[in-house]
Structure 1
Amino acid sequence: MTKKLSFAVATAVMTCSLVANETTHLGEVNIIAGNNSDSKFKSNQISSEDMKLQEKNTVVEALNTISGITVNNHGIRGEQSVSIRGFSAKHAPVFIDGIAVNVPYDGYLDFANFTTFDLEKIQISKGLTSTLLGVNTFAGAINLVTKKPTKEFEGTISAGAFSGEGRKAYLNLGTNQGKYYIQASGSYLDRDYVPMSSNFNSTSVQDDGHRVNSYKEDRKVNLKVGYTPNDTDEYAINYINQKTKKGMPYPVYQSELGQNSYRQWPYSDKESFYFLSNTNFDLGYLKSRIFYDKFENNMYFFKDNTFKELRSNPTPYDANTKGISLELGQYDTQRNSLKLALHAKQDTQKDLDKDGNTSSVMKINYLSIGLEDTFKVTDDFRVITGISWDKDDVKKANNGSFKANGTRPYENVKEFEHTSESAFNPMIKVEYDIDETFGLYAGIAKKTRFASLKERYSFRLGSAIPNPDLKPEKAINYEIGANKIFDNQGIKSAFFYSDVKDYIQTDRVTNPFGGGMTNQNKNIGKVKHMGYELEYFYSFDETLDFDASYTRLLAEDKDKKVDITDAPKHKIALGVTYRPIKALTTNVNMQYSSNRHTTSNDRSKDTSGAAIWNAKIAYELVKGLTIDVGASNIFDKNYEYNYGYPEAGRVIYSNLTYKF
């Protein structure tokens, strides 16, 4: 395998190219990763082909195949997210085509609400994340790259069914006419319930058949129009509308139930408008992203598991994010490439009353200026340096629980204190190619995460008091890695260490407004996360592909005050694809995570480790028309990511897909 294949191609795939016009997709972002990895390594991206092959219908399912990433279940909220090397999704922003889309108030989102049918790939950065990506890339970043047509007319039509009386359908249509292109996508994913494992023992509040209150419906429309006046310049307008409604399964153990356990989301919707551009000049390029994201959400709290009578008023909100990102870069010279990025956005959260009127408003501004330089000391030795200056600034912080004669903590405070924080985040990384197939890298990066609006100001349904003075979390991320490519196989390793201070954790404090004890977020954590990732792939002609990864993680609070949650020590992912004949494709994949501490009422209740096996067979009936059958959790394992919230048992599915 030549150096061109093992280095240059991989660099383009990872979007770490030094020449601006090598980037072929506006939605991709710069990621600092092991540049001399072959494109077959999956530690930093997963393609649409792999997502379809492994039947990963949602982003959370797809990310579970990546080393260093584990799935989390937020339990009572009925949401799923991921952690990167033991850090929660709040520490790694999610982007769509390079635009940050985390919910303004919470600082994270429900990954299970994002389907994969309109995606071209998912990019993942861990640890040594580019300083050009903006604020809060504390542990990394995740970028969802939407499809872009490459042919005069192309498309995919698919429909399927799965256990739990589930149904899915999606349509992707595109045309690329040289000077312009149009992409239209629509999808529907719906289930009546999640099937329980036959190995689950029923309890007083959950039988062994259908998971209670586990219905879900996702609808999405994605429209994109692009203009390409020449070979290097591109301008695109995109519109995405996704709607979700779902139940929120309550714990299966009576001891975990509380007065707020019976919930439903009547709607959880997101609407996005954005403009992307790439303009090339004689000496460089300018990329721009202008965006507006709107979030509408509501939650119902019921008195009991009949879900007929509300316990309290609904809690609707109307949130939005608007902003602009610019990246200015010079073309690669013989030795140097310099890039400058500016990100400015404003997050607004409006809480509504039962009549739809605004009851309180929170608003925060973010600003980030990043500089990154890649210097070639020799053709085989590169030094990447960068620095960013990040700032947040709270502009409004209405107290939605304000009462003129309030007696509970902070009820008599109408407007919370406005705070502002800033941080410098430098990084350096060196890369060295020992020969055409063997490369090394090492780097250090300082990272900062600003506290979310929820962490500063939430009463958490009366169980905590706010802390407007929360400081940013700070980390020093260290990483070294190596990559070795052979003719038809390769191995990759990464060793990482994160030294964190001012980690935000819940503390028990004296209630200053009435005695007794209550909860409050504080910067009390001194945390270290360390471990390594190993990855291997093997390909034999076009008939057999095998890939495997292993992650070892040690995460602990240095002061031993709190056990770190959702950080399993071991994670394994395997995948085997076999094509005995041209028309037949089979795939078996497995994801394993070891036991972990969770956010249950009793922190001593850990979840057990589980290896979940999945299998699929696809047969092309005629050119372009494929039928497939398969099953996830084929051994019907009873397992949990969060204590008291079992995941789906065996799910059998079948799809019919036509691609042209």
Structure 2
Amino acid sequence: MYRKLSLVVATTLFAGKLLASETTNLGQIDIFENKNSDSRFKSNEISAEDMKLQEKNSVVDALNTISGLNTYGYGARGEQTISIRGFSARHSPVFIDGIAINVPSEGYVDLSNYTTFNLDKIQVTKGLSSPLLGINTFAGAINLVTRKPTKELEGSISAGVFSGDGKKTYINLGTNQGKYYIQASGSYLDRDYIPMSSNFNSNSNQDNDKRVNSYKTDKNINLKVGYTPNDTDEYAFNYINQKTEKGMPTDIFAVPPKGKQAGPYRQWDYSNKESFYFLSNTNFKYAYLKSRVFYDKYEDNMLFFTDKTFSKLNKNALPTPYDANTKGVSLELGEYDTQRNSLKLAFHIKRDTQEDNDSGKTYTKKMDYLSIGLEDTFRFTDNFRVIAGASWDKDKVKEANNKKPDINYGSEFDHASSNSFNPMIKFEYDIDETFNLYAGIAKKTRFASLKERYSYRFGKQIPNPELKPEKTINYEIGVNKVFENQGIKSVLFYSDVKDYIQEEIINPNAPKNDQVAKNNNIGKVKHMGYELEYFYSLSNTLDIDASYTRLLAEDRDNKVDIIDAPKHKVVLGTTYRPVKGLTTNINMQYSSSRHTDQNDRNKDVGGATIWNAKIAYEFVKGLTLDVGASNIFGKNYEYSYGYPESGRVIYSNLTYKF
């Protein structure tokens, strides 16, 4: 009787599991139980301490240290993000404190704009993500957990400089007074340019010293206020204001049309995001109530210039101001976790709105999303668990103004709607406290983004409002073993994909610059491989972490190359503390060659091994000076063809923590 009363509909956007008997950071999402030896490994989480130790100032750099994840860029847009097991960022939502922040039109996030200074940790789930997380968890999900104070007074203040005439400063202040807490964070990260590798040879589009048009400024303010009336309940309001201004380096290999310079020459005049979040957790005798209310506002503007001096605006290419917002409300009510069973039911809803200003006219697009998820964890024994569930997901276009009415579409595009049913099951078995096995299978879908459906891409693409969801069945088997001071983990994964969205050239016989494409559900794709991870820890003196990822991504119909999916990735990290107060860290990220154009093998880029090092010394309690370098050997490399990454960057920081 009581159990029936305690099984209630939960409404939340991307809600994760929270036991009623636990107190935790409200922004954290706990995928499945994570109580076994798997929690000792870093393949699903990176802490604030590790991000600071390795000088990972942006989220994209921090995530590049995790197995199965790879950095890639969006070329001329000057943006960078992360793929999970070879699937693009559109296939993996990014959350802040459990709330999705994917830009409405694009469906992905420029993670180079998100700094790590206000974060407590980053969580990553791959493949077998919980059906409670909501829509589009096709390949997994990423959650950025903001800080929460635990002491009466705590904080950190830091200032630093780095190559490229760069400056960095941040401050984190927090107080926890038992019944309430306040966390305030602010950061400023600025550079004039990206230094080029000494191995780079200049050409007409790029000199040997400074990457042209590569300036960048990031500003972030985060204020969190929480109320904790007892040991289990918590209510918090979170405000985030993030502003970015940056240049967009051009393709160094671009061949200009006859009589013109190469291009395009563009800058992000501004790229801003403002967020208002309310999160809560309330416990009752047999249930918990969790809520999330959110509103995200996005604004950006792209400017076009006539040449590489960036001194004169192009009169034939007007600025493209963009306004969008995402809003939703959520409640989650679930049963108390018993010794044998835990059942959760979730209902997720949100609306994305995009407004484009073109020649003085505003064009609006609106999309609604709905997801109902069910998940049950049943413990047959103390060592054997079965986690089963499913989600029903739906999208619905509510408004889609057409900038260029023609014979096919009038002033309004067709309003399409799609839905999908996504079951999953996972088995976990603990041989003992140090030895764990698991296996699972999950069906996932991804809805097409507004841009994929409706964008003309400056006349290079024909819209397709009827795009269907992409579908995959993800299979995964894993094993991990922890010894006294070391451990090893292995994961095998396979994704069988249908209706993959790929571009088709409509006029293949036309000159390349005149070709027009259209997105269609024509792909049959498989992604498969394995991840290996190892750690070693000797007291508080030496820590070693290593991982290797093997990935095979293929279009089964051999129509195109899968891009941004390197076959091999290696990550190494070593931290050594020879004496009290002195900490040294050496880390390396290697990714093999990759395709960066679906139809042109001449635009493949080679592999790169990037080494980084840092030395930090604590002079007095809380006061630390560090010096270090990233890409210490000055490797000349690219993630996207024609867009070289930074050469050697030397930095120094002074930090006070209390």
Partner SS, residue 22 of structure 1: coil
1:199 partner amino acid: N
Cα distance in 2 for residues equivalent to 1:145 and 1:472: 29
Q: CA deviation at 1:326?
A: 2.8
* Equivalent residue in structure 1 for 2:503, among 506, 519, 534: 506
Q: Answer yes or no: is 1:457 the counterpart of 2:454.
A: yes
Q: CA deviation at 1:32?
A: 4.1
Q: CA deviation at 1:19?
A: 2.9
CA shift digits 1:499-541 (9 cap, x unpaired): 0000000001259xxxx96200000000000000000000001
Structure 1 unmatched runs, 5+:
1-14
The aligned residue for residue 10 of structure 2 is none
1:37 partner amino acid: S
Cα distance in 2 for residues equivalent to 1:562 and 1:484: 39
Question: Percent of aligned pairs with the same residue?
Answer: 72
Q: Answer yes or no: is 1:360 the counterpart of 2:357.
A: no
The aligned residue for residue 355 of structure 2 is 350
Cα distance in 1 for residues equivalent to 2:618 and 2:599: 50
1:494 partner amino acid: V
Cα distance in 2 for residues equivalent to 1:435 and 1:490: 14
CA shift digits 1:114-145 (9 cap, x unpaired): 00000000000000001011100000000000
Q: CA deviation at 1:324?
A: 1.9
Give the CA RMSD over aligned residues.
1.7
Partner SS, residue 580 of structure 1: coil
Partner SS, residue 634 of structure 1: coil
CA shift digits 1:567-598 (9 cap, x unpaired): 00000100000000110000000000000000
Equivalent residues in 2 for 1:140-539, closer than 5 Å: 140-255=140-255, 261-311=264-314, 312-353=317-358, 359-402=362-405, 413-509=410-506, 518-539=516-537
Cα distance in 1 for residues equivalent to 2:88 and 2:267: 24
Q: Is residue 256–residue 644 contact of structure 1 (8 Å, CA) maintained in 2?
A: no
Q: CA deviation at 1:359?
A: 1.4
Cα distance in 1 for residues equivalent to 2:115 and 2:94: 14
CA shift digits 1:532-554 (9 cap, x unpaired): 00000000011000000000000
Q: Is residue 344–residue 375 contact of structure 2 (8 Å, CA) maintained in 1?
A: yes
Q: CA deviation at 1:34?
A: 6.2
The aligned residue for residue 37 of structure 1 is 37
The aligned residue for residue 5 of structure 1 is none
Cα distance in 2 for residues equivalent to 1:103 and 1:299: 15
Partner SS, residue 52 of structure 1: helix
Q: Is residue 545–residue 573 contact of structure 2 (8 Å, CA) maintained in 1?
A: yes
Equivalent residues in 2 for 1:19-168, closer than 5 Å: 19-32=19-32, 36-168=36-168
Q: CA deviation at 1:328?
A: 2.2
Q: Is residue 157–residue 659 contact of structure 1 (8 Å, CA) maintained in 2?
A: yes
2:110 partner amino acid: D
2:474 partner amino acid: N
2:387 partner amino acid: I
Cα distance in 1 for residues equivalent to 2:303 and 2:291: 39
1:162 partner amino acid: F
Q: Is residue 118–residue 147 contact of structure 1 (8 Å, CA) maintained in 2?
A: yes
Q: Is residue 256–residue 601 contact of structure 1 (8 Å, CA) maintained in 2?
A: no
2:376 partner amino acid: D
Structure 2 unmatched runs, 5+:
1-14, 509-513
Partner SS, residue 603 of structure 2: coil
The aligned residue for residue 11 of structure 2 is none
Q: Is residue 36–residue 483 contact of structure 1 (8 Å, CA) maintained in 2?
A: no
The aligned residue for residue 564 of structure 1 is 562
The aligned residue for residue 9 of structure 1 is none
Cα distance in 1 for residues equivalent to 2:83 and 2:352: 23
Change (3 A) 1:226 1:601: same
Partner SS, residue 530 of structure 1: strand
Partner SS, residue 189 of structure 2: strand
Q: Is residue 259–residue 303 contact of structure 1 (8 Å, CA) maintained in 2?
A: no
Cα distance in 2 for residues equivalent to 1:547 and 1:451: 37
CA shift digits 1:1-36 (9 cap, x unpaired): xxxxxxxxxxxxxx9877333251100113248652
Change (3 A) 1:87 1:343: same
Partner SS, residue 61 of structure 1: helix
Partner SS, residue 152 of structure 1: coil
Partner SS, residue 86 of structure 1: coil
Q: Is residue 260–residue 301 contact of structure 1 (8 Å, CA) maintained in 2?
A: no
The aligned residue for residue 653 of structure 1 is 651
Q: Is residue 590–residue 607 contact of structure 2 (8 Å, CA) maintained in 1?
A: yes
Cα distance in 1 for residues equivalent to 2:341 and 2:615: 48
2:160 partner amino acid: G
1:153 partner amino acid: L
Change (3 A) 1:601 1:557: closer
Q: CA deviation at 1:358?
A: 5.1
- Equivalent pairs, count: 634
Partner SS, residue 254 of structure 1: coil
CA shift digits 1:464-507 (9 cap, x unpaired): 10001100000000000001010100011110000000000000
Partner SS, residue 503 of structure 1: strand
The aligned residue for residue 4 of structure 2 is none
Change (3 A) 1:601 1:128: closer
Q: Is residue 351–residue 400 contact of structure 1 (8 Å, CA) maintained in 2?
A: no
Cα distance in 1 for residues equivalent to 2:167 and 2:584: 22
